Structure 1
Amino acid sequence: MTTTPGQRAAADLAAVREQWGDLLAAIERPPTAEWPPREARGFLGQLAAVDHYEDDGLEPAAARVGRLPLTLREHPAPLNLAALDAALEVERDLFDLADQIAEQVQRPIRSADQDDATNPARWHYAAPTTPGSRAYGLHWAAVWIEGRVCGEDLDGDLFATMPPRLFDHAAAVAARARRTVERALERDGRTTHLDTPCPWCGGQLVGQTRPGGEPAVTCSTGEGCGAPATLDRGRRVWRGAELVALWSAMDAARNREE
């Protein structure tokens, strides 16, 4: 299926937004070379956290993440400097891109029109006394940029169509932001031979990640492996949420050895 540059840019921006909470959480955790990646092992922790907060009537921490831009926060002793650097780079690039787009396609504020000046659809520039629209964080910046890339709200006079050169620049920045996030989260496509054997047959387990896709683990034994997993081209394979069961079995096997 052929996609347009606008669709690809929108997909890249959506991928950044969807993984932003994971990246912010990674800043507060030490780097690790373990596999499955954090996104797979996190399913168990997320389920436990949701149960805990629902029982206590509290708001999940994930719902509070990202409300204040990184550029406006204190960062006491971050445990993962690479993740912090990646997040700061992506946030800065998207904020700057929104400024550049607004400068070229957003109509200036009408004189003495307070409603126009405070229009929430506008991108508001940062100033010495206010962060402008940056106060709403990366999510809003990504959503606002996506609207301009996709040609939304062109029926009024607030926004104009993006010129081709700016469009190409926006697509390049969005693609780079996605690569930066996925590289920091180790989701940029890699293959890892796991140290722990298959809990069901003792075969070699191989973990794989790919950009924009869910992680997967394959058992090398073949159809003889009795694991309750999907049989794909003669091999048992765990993908996405299925990795929770595999991770639990691997953890139980390690505990038995101890």
Structure 2
Amino acid sequence: MTTTAAAHLRTIALRWTDLRDALASTGTTTWPPAGRMSDYLRALEEADTELAEAARWQAAYNRQFLDRDPRQIGATRPPLRIEILDTMRVVQAALVSCADDIAHAAQRAPISVPAARKADYRTLREARIAHQDRQRAEQLAHADRIDPRRWRFTGTRTAPYAALWLLARIERAPGPCRRITDDEQRRIGVVAAGAAERVERALDIAARTAVIATPCPDCGGRIEMYGGAGAAPVARCTECGHVWTGQEATAA
């Protein structure tokens, strides 16, 4: 599971730039592919929260459209791809929340700066040594506080940084944290798997499977469609083995 979780977290970190590029692109990624077959495919693994979030963003865009200058005629394309924006927001929220929880439990507090104290030194040498000791302690505390390996609860908190920080915890990298527990590792694995799946689905780099509601015209068996990851769709009857490829699949 550690290897799988690590691969998922690397996918998120490496593909985040691709999501940003896709955010403003004019193309669309749809699954199943357009055509009559899409009328018969059931939507797979669509959570209610995803639908609600997408609807909220669409409603916000519609309000902007209605409020624009009435002299503008016709509809305009949304400035951003709503489905990509939704994916980025959901993935980032999930990863940052997971990192917050793991850091609260596993990350130690920064080293405290020693309090100033008034002391009477017998010699100038003793006073100089005490001053140097305090300076070293302050430098150590400052370095520990700004350690880049430390998870931040404020400031910039992005999905790629959260993914890499969680990856470091899984790989037992050194840092201001204790070794995570098995339960914490499983939690990271579940979150990473869900986030990576969303990223791959948004970028169409993962293979997909869908079931067609209409039975096979030859034997009445169930038809499954395979595709995604840039591959042409292929439909196959699970009973008689009849296969439709390319244009045959989209026109079935």
TM superposition score normalised by structure 1? 0.51
Q: Distance in 2 between matches of 1:95 and 1:104?
A: 14
CA contact 1:17–1:139 (8 Å) conserved in 2: yes
2:163 match: secondary structure: helix
Matches of 1:115 and 1:143 in 2, distance apart?
21
| Partners of 1:165 and 1:79 in 2: CA distance | 38
Q: Superposition RMSD on alpha carbons, in Å? A: 3.1
Deviation at 1:139?
2.1
Q: Please report how far the alpha carbon of residue 79 of structure 1 lies from its aligned counterpart in structure 2 after TM superposition.
A: 2.8
The aligned counterpart of 1:168 is 186
Structure-2 residue corresponding to 1:8: 4
Name the larger-Rg structure. 2
Q: Deviations over 1:103-144 (max 9, x none)?
A: 111111111122211111111111xxxx1x51xx32222111
Q: Aligned residues: percent identity?
A: 30
Looking at structure 1, the residues matched to 30 and 196 of structure 2 have their Cα atoms a distance apart, in angstroms, of 22
Matched, 1:146 2:167: yes
Distance 1:97 1:103 in 2: 10
Asked if the contact 1:31–1:79 (Cα under 8 Å) also holds between the matched residues in 2, the reply is: no
Letter in 2 for 1:123: W
TM-score by length of 2: 0.52
Partner residue of 1:124 out of 152, 175, 184: 152
| Structure 2 counterpart of 1:19, from 12, 15, 19 | 15
Listed one character per residue, the Cα deviations across residues 33-88 of structure 1 (whole Å, up to 9, x for unaligned) are: 589x9xxxxxxxxxxxxxxxxxxxxxxxxxxxxxxxxxxxxx99543101100001
Write the distance in 1 (CA, Å) between the matches of 2:169 and 2:105.
11
Q: Distance in 1 between matches of 2:9 and 2:182?
A: 18
Structure 2 contact 91–198 (Cα < 8 Å) conserved: yes
Task: Check conservation: 1:78, 1:84, Cα contact below 8 A.
Answer: no
Cα distance in 2, alignment partners of residues 146 and 116 from structure 1:
20
| Structure 1 pair 149–191 and aligned structure 2 pair: CA distance change class (3 A) | closer
Quick one: distance in 2 between partners of 1:124 and 1:184? 28
Counterpart among 167, 176, 187 of residue 205 in structure 2: 187
One-letter code of the match for 2:165?
A: W
Q: Which amino acid aligns with 1:101?
A: I
Higher relative contact order (CA 8 A, sep 6+): 2
**Alpha-carbon distance between aligned partners in 2 of 1:117 and 1:180, rounded to the nearest angstrom:** 34
| Residue ranges of structure 1 left out of the alignment (5+ in a row) | 38-74, 193-205, 220-258
Distance in 1 separating the partners of 2:208 and 2:3: 26
Aligned to 2:112: 111
Distance in 1 between residues matched to 2:30 and 2:2, nearest whole Å = 36
Does structure 1 residue 28 correspond to structure 2 residue 24? yes
Structure 2: gaps spanning 5 or more residues: 34-60, 65-77, 114-140, 211-224, 235-252
Q: Which residue of 2 aligns with 1:223?
A: none
Q: Following the alignment from structure 1 to structure 2, what is the Cα–Cα distance between the partners of residues 33 and 186?
A: 7
- Please give the secondary structure, in 2, of the residue aligned with 1:160: coil
Deviations 1:192-226 (A, max 9, x none): 9xxxxxxxxxxxxx99435xxxx44599xxxxxxx
8 Å CA contact 2:29–2:204 kept in 1: the answer is no
5 Å-filtered alignment, 1:36-185, equals: 77-112=78-113, 113-126=141-154, 131=155, 133-134=156-157, 137-153=158-174, 158-185=176-203
